[in-house]
Amino acid sequence: MVPQLYIGIMSGTSLDGIDLVLTDFTTKPSLLGSCLIPFPASLQRELRSLAEPGNNEVERIGPAEHQLAECYAAGVKQLLKQVNYLPEQISAIGCHGQTIRHRPNQLQPFTMQLGNMHLLAALTGIRVIADFRRKDMAYGGQGAPLVPAFHQAVFAKAGKNRAVVNIGGIANISLLQADGTITGYDTGPGNCLMDDWVSLHRQLPYDKDGAFSAEGELLPELLQQLLADDYFQLSAPKSTGREYFHLGWLRQKLTGLEAPADVQRTLSRFTALSIANELQLPNLSEVFICGGGVHHPVLMADLQQLLTPAKVQSSSSAGVDPDWVEAMAFAWLAQAFDKQLPGNVPAVTGARKACVLGVSYSP
């Protein structure tokens, strides 16, 4: 049997770095290796800036895409060296790209993920599958989230109602029901507001071990204001991004008199509630958490409190490392493209039909 080896690359809205995995799909998905490549500080700042409306964006996008492809390629080379594989042994790279805009609800909906995929293929010598979202949007879908199909393949169990929650910059859920049906959508902010707030007040990239949140007290009035946003009243399918939930959005809700630690504690509860409110399902038995949020003890404790009696646990309990689930999902989408299998779930995205997602870029 010829090995089916795919690299998955994911750089999400948290902008904490580039996740890369090597996954073997010869039988069941098997993680062979992984690595995290930090963004150069200047590129991280530029990508964060491009995620919000600004000046001279077209002129700035070109260099950002070039540098991003170089970072992706450096990560691929590091990963292959780490696992002792050669480029010619890899079937393809599945690359999500870096989202800077996601506007699925406009009259002319669009989404934009940066990354010069031709350059990535040229630098690595490996075929690249990318541009996964726009085919779904062409058929009326939200273009996101795209991980539920992978979640179903890995986490679903007949006869059990399960949920998978990915808490990256934005949080998304996959509801895997006992009868085999699946739904899912973006619930709202995951770590993005917490990361931005701790960066502003503690000059830290994220709230390590939930320490900043643990210092604060809940602000009930602020919490209610945050939850009153129109996004949480929308019916699924729905998706969002950092271009909507950012510091400017948060500042509009503040008086300026709040203690920074109290705001951080409230943001943690806000993320937990915006997720838990969407998981109030009868007979929900297990909730698997993946993404950076799994390492935030305050957030995890809030989720367990809000979702009891369901058991809230890391995806590692199902044999999938929580830090690499999304990158594995895009490796899975690349092999689905090669097999000409649908990569979207219309019940999740709202697309008119199931589609093969992606575009192939040859080296």
Element (H, E) at 312: strand 311-314
CA 163 to centroid of chain Cα atoms: 16
β-strand pairing of 92-95 with 5-10: parallel
Q: What is the DSSP string of 115-170?
A: --HHHHHHHHTS-EEE--HHHHHHTT-------HHHHHHHH--TT-EEEEEEESSE
**Per this entry, what is the length of the chain?**
363
Confirm whether residue 195 is marked as ligand binding.
no
Tell me the HSE value of 261 on the side-chain side, using a 13 A CA sphere: 9
* CA distances (Å), origin 17, targets 11, 104, 202, 205, 279: 6, 25, 19, 11, 29
Q: What is the CA radius of gyration of the chain?
A: 19
Q: Provide CB contacts within 8 A for 194, sequence distance 6+.
A: 206, 207, 213, 264, 267, 268, 271, 296
* CA distances (Å), origin 275, targets 68, 82, 163, 278: 31, 36, 11, 6
Confirm whether residue 19 is marked as ligand binding.
yes
Confirm whether residue 12 is marked as ligand binding.
yes
Tokens encoding 165: 């929650």
Q: Would you tell me how many other CB atoms lie within 10 Å of the CB of residue 59?
A: 8
Q: Please give the Cα distance from 193 to 244 (Å, whole number).
A: 11
Confirm whether residue 179 is marked as ligand binding.
no
Q: Please give the Cα distance from 302 to 294 (Å, whole number).
A: 12
Q: Please give the Cα distance from 4 to 304 (Å, whole number).
A: 38
Confirm whether residue 5 is marked as ligand binding.
no
Q: Please give the Cα distance from 261 to 298 (Å, whole number).
A: 13
Confirm whether residue 358 is marked as ligand binding.
no
Instruction: Report the binding-site residues for ATP.
Output: 12-19
Instruction: Report the binding-site residues.
Output: 12-19
